[in-house]
Amino acid sequence: MRKKAGFAALSGLLAALALTFSMLEGMLPPLPGMPPGAKLGLSNVVMMYAAGSLGLPWAMALAVIKGGFALLTRGVTAGAMSLSGGLLSTACAWAVLKKTRASFALTGMCGAMAHNAGQVLVAFWMMGPAVLGYGPVLILASLATGALTGAVLRVSLPQMERVSGFLVGKRP
Amino acid sequence: MERRLFNPREWSVLLIVALAAVIWLALSRSGPGGTRAIVERGGEIVLSRELEGLKAPETVEIEGENGVSLRVELSEEGARVSETNCADRTCQRTGLITRAGESAVCLPGRIVLWLEGPKTGRKLDAETY
């Protein structure tokens, strides 16, 4: 019983953390040197951790919550972009974390590229082929931001593990 | 085995991805100069203007969807979104576009500004008789 409640608490905490990061990031000015529209993607750190610790279904549920929050606060376009990017990057992070021994940096990069791919797919569907021109710059940006989010995950992992260890016990 | 932050064995993969992106970028930037600016709203062309022969920069106001409006500046060098009331300002930060196929996109307003190149037939790679 305690484990179930702890799992729910951990999921809620991670969802809140992901939403807070994505809101905070929205308040920051555009990063110098980054292509227009590209973001650091700090909430991907949380989504990657969720994919690794909660498992795929719960991490995907978190991505849906994040997309729903974007829909309510920033409109249909932002909601659809957040949902597609979030689902694809979470699935990608889960696959890389569970099926390979890839480094944290590569995991972050794959997650970032999948996030951008999901968003470009929605933009392509809404706007047509003109958006594909953003493809190469977004790939290059993903390599930089992904390495950074991977590093943040590496650094914050012991703390996150301590919290999840307290809530749901030792990880299997 | 502990998962590492960086793994030197992965660098070749990253190099290939980065190289592919750079080549894609270089190819997309090496096209002919844009000769006609086109603005689409929700997939429909709302403005099409020849850039060659424009004596002075020309500004056009475009009303997009969701209350978004943009000011598009057209000149002989190219086109750019000079002002917008959209919070993202992605289209404005794209800056001046000069090459055929380049675009500035406003997703919330469903607006695409892009440049069309010279009509095919005028500059052929080869001709046969």
Prediction ipTM score: 0.82
Alpha carbon distance B123, A132 (integer Å): 25
Question: What pLDDT score was predicted for residue B121?
Answer: 46
Select from B37, B39, B49 the least CA-distant residue to B112.
B39
Identity of the residue in A37, A137, A143 whose CB atom sits nearest the CB atom of B18: A143
Alpha carbon distance B127, B129 (integer Å): 7
Are A102 and B10 a contacting pair at CB < 8 A?
yes
Question: What pLDDT score was predicted for residue B127?
Answer: 55
Which domain, by its residues, includes B90?
Answer: 36-116
- In this predicted structure, the answer to whether residue B128 has a pLDDT above a threshold of 90 is no
Beta strand B69-74 with B79-84: parallel, antiparallel or unpaired? antiparallel
Instruction: Kindly report, residue by residue over A145-171, the tens digit of the pLDDT.
Output: 999 999 999 999 999 999 888 888 765
The CATH classification of domain A2-28+39-164, taken from the options 1.10.1760.20, 3.40.50.1220, 1.25.40.10, 3.40.50.970: 1.10.1760.20
Does residue B52 sit in helix, strand or coil? coil
Supply the CATH number for residue B76's domain: 2.60.320.10
Distances from the Cα of B16 to the Cαs of A103, A143, B4, B44, in angstroms?
17, 12, 21, 38
Instruction: Kindly report, residue by residue over B83-104, the tens digit of the pLDDT.
Output: 999 887 889 988 999 998 889 9
- In this predicted structure, the answer to whether residue B7 has a pLDDT above a threshold of 70 is yes
Q: Is A96 on the interface with B (CB under 8 A)?
A: no
Residue B129 located in a structural domain = no
Identity of the residue in B18, B91, B101 whose CB atom sits nearest the CB atom of A133: B101
Q: How buried is A72 (Cβ within 10 angstroms: 0-12 exposed, 13-18 middle, 19+ buried)?
A: exposed
Minimal Cα–Cα distance from B48 to chain A, Å?
Answer: 15
- In this predicted structure, the answer to whether residue A172 has a pLDDT above a threshold of 50 is no
Q: What percent of chain B has pLDDT over 90?
A: 52
Q: Is A139 on the interface with B (CB under 8 A)?
A: yes
Question: What pLDDT score was predicted for residue A47?
Answer: 96
- In this predicted structure, the answer to whether residue B129 has a pLDDT above a threshold of 80 is no
Q: Is B101 on the interface with A (CB under 8 A)?
A: yes
Q: Is A28 on the interface with B (CB under 8 A)?
A: no
The more confident residue out of A33 and B107 is: B107
The pLDDT mean for chain B works out to 87
Cβ atoms B57, B74 nearer than 8 A: yes
Residue range B47-51: average pLDDT? Answer: 92
Interface test with A, best of B2, B3, B84 (most A CBs within 10 A): B3
Residue B85 located in a structural domain = yes
Minimal Cα–Cα distance from B15 to chain A, Å?
Answer: 10
Alpha-carbon torsion A10, A11, A15, A18, what sign?
A: positive
Select from A45, A132, A123, A55 the least CA-distant residue to A83.
A123
Instruction: Kindly report, residue by residue over A115-135, the tens digit of the pLDDT.
Output: 999 999 999 998 888 888 889
Residue B66 located in a structural domain = yes
Are A150 and B5 a contacting pair at CB < 8 A?
yes
Are B90 and A37 a contacting pair at CB < 8 A?
yes
**Domain limits of chain A?**
2-28+39-164
Interface test with B, best of A96, A106, A157 (most B CBs within 10 A): A106
Instruction: Kindly report, residue by residue over A45-91, the tens digit of the pLDDT.
Output: 999 999 999 999 999 999 999 999 999 998 888 899 999 999 999 99
**What is the DSSP annotation of chain A?**
-HHHHHHHHHHHHHHHHHHHHHHHHHHSPPPTTSPTT----THHHHHHHHHHHT-HHHHHHHHHHHHHHHHHHH-HHHHHHHHHHHHHHHHHHHHHHHH----HHHHHHHHHHHHHHHHHHHHHHHH-GGGGGGHHHHHHHHHHHHHHHHHHHHHHHHHHHHHHHHHH-S--
The more confident residue out of A68 and B121 is: A68
Q: Is A123 on the interface with B (CB under 8 A)?
A: yes
Q: How many structural domains is chain B composed of? A: 1
Are B105 and A103 a contacting pair at CB < 8 A?
no
Q: Is B25 on the interface with A (CB under 8 A)?
A: yes
Q: How buried is B26 (Cβ within 10 angstroms: 0-12 exposed, 13-18 middle, 19+ buried)?
A: exposed
Alpha carbon distance A31, B107 (integer Å): 20
